[in-house]
Homo-oligomer: A and B are copies of this chain.
Amino acid sequence: MRDWSMKGRPEVFAPEFNQIAGMPELFTDLTIKLHFVRLCSHGREWNYPQRQQAANTLYFVLGGDAFIRHGTNTMPLLPGHAYLLPRGCPLDLHCHTHIQKIWCWFDLLLHNTVDILDGQTTPFHLGQHDFTLAELPDMTARLFRRQIEDHLFWLGTICRYLARLDQDLSECYHHTRQRTGKLMPLFDYIENNLSAKLTLDELASVMKCHPNSLSRLFCRTTGMTLSRYLRRRLMQKAAAMLADRELAVFEIAHELGFADEYYFNRVFRKYFGIAPGKYRHGFFHDSAGPESSDQQS
């Protein structure tokens, strides 16, 4: 299959490539942040209309009969295939019996701040994945060990599947760069100080302009009102915190600057159409019933 281990003094391989070529330092402003990779099965409780994605989601579907609906289009989630559901893209999730998948949550960030897939409104079919049944036990073992090399392994896997987006990815990148250009300090400040208490006046003072001109500039540049963007980022962060087991719901509400848990519950439910507790439940309980939650370490 391979003939690298040539004996004697090997000739130069492939003379047509006998030149120095490579990518310049072009995309070092792009980083990928992996929140988690999980192996999970869900039954019909997975069905959910108009679920917002709180982070970019990559599915490697292993089994089941699920499909997603975006607008009037339906996309089946075929076993053996990979799918990207961009963050903020509202979808209906459906399955008749169950869905089994490897499920990755990640951000693809420009300047560690703005997700370049934010704003994508359609899911992507990335084609067949190449996880063979033989290597799957080893790959899933990596999910249980939680070591840094496993983190890098999955990061690498996700990058290579994202590369299949080709032209679409270039568009996301250049569009985001263009869209955020002048506003980058604002996005930076928002990410570092994200809280329900953040005010327009505070942001205007960061950008050294009048609150009204900031609102207008933001709306013109991004096509979205600033308050809508803030609520969206706040809810995405809340969802990411719920997907982690560390903090109780009332602690998350407090951390994010909400006056009380009840108000947080109301805002979250309005945004995602589901209460925070139930949202978390969906992350940690599978179709085998509540007792299976004891198995996850």
Whether A163 is near chain B, meaning CB under 8 Å from some CB there, is: yes
Interface residues on A, range: 35 or more
Residues of A142-181 contacting chain B, CB below 8 A: 143-144, 146-166, 169-170, 173
Question: Would A149 and B164 count as touching, CB distance under 8 A?
Answer: yes
Q: Which residue of B lies closest to A145 (CB)?
A: B23
* Given known A-B contacts A18-B288, A40-B20, A80-B4, A169 and B143 have beta carbons under 8 A apart: no
* Given known A-B contacts A160-B157, A163-B149, A25 and B35 have beta carbons under 8 A apart: yes
Bound CA–CA A246/B28 (angstroms): 15
State how many angstroms separate the Cβ of A31 from the closest Cβ of chain B: 5
Question: Would B97 and A65 count as touching, CB distance under 8 A?
Answer: no
Question: Would B151 and A30 count as touching, CB distance under 8 A?
Answer: yes
Whether A211 is near chain B, meaning CB under 8 Å from some CB there, is: no
Question: Would A296 and B19 count as touching, CB distance under 8 A?
Answer: yes
Q: Which residues of B sit under 8 angstroms from A62, Cβ to Cβ?
A: 4, 13-14
Can you list 21 residue pairs at the A/B interface with Cβ under 8 Å?
Answer: A5-B78, A9-B65, A9-B97, A10-B63, A11-B63, A13-B100, A14-B140, A18-B100, A19-B40, A20-B38, A20-B40, A20-B292, A21-B144, A23-B146, A23-B151, A25-B35, A28-B35, A31-B32, A149-B169, A153-B159, A156-B159
- Pairs of residues from A and B, 6 with the lowest C-beta to C-beta distance, nearest first: A4-B80, A156-B159, A22-B38, A156-B160, A153-B163, A20-B40
Task: State the A residues within 8 Å of B (CB).
Answer: 1-6, 9-14, 17-28, 30-41, 62-65, 78-81, 96-98, 100, 103, 112, 128, 132-133, 136-137, 140, 143-144, 146-166, 169-170, 173, 240, 244-246, 283-286, 288, 292-293, 295-297
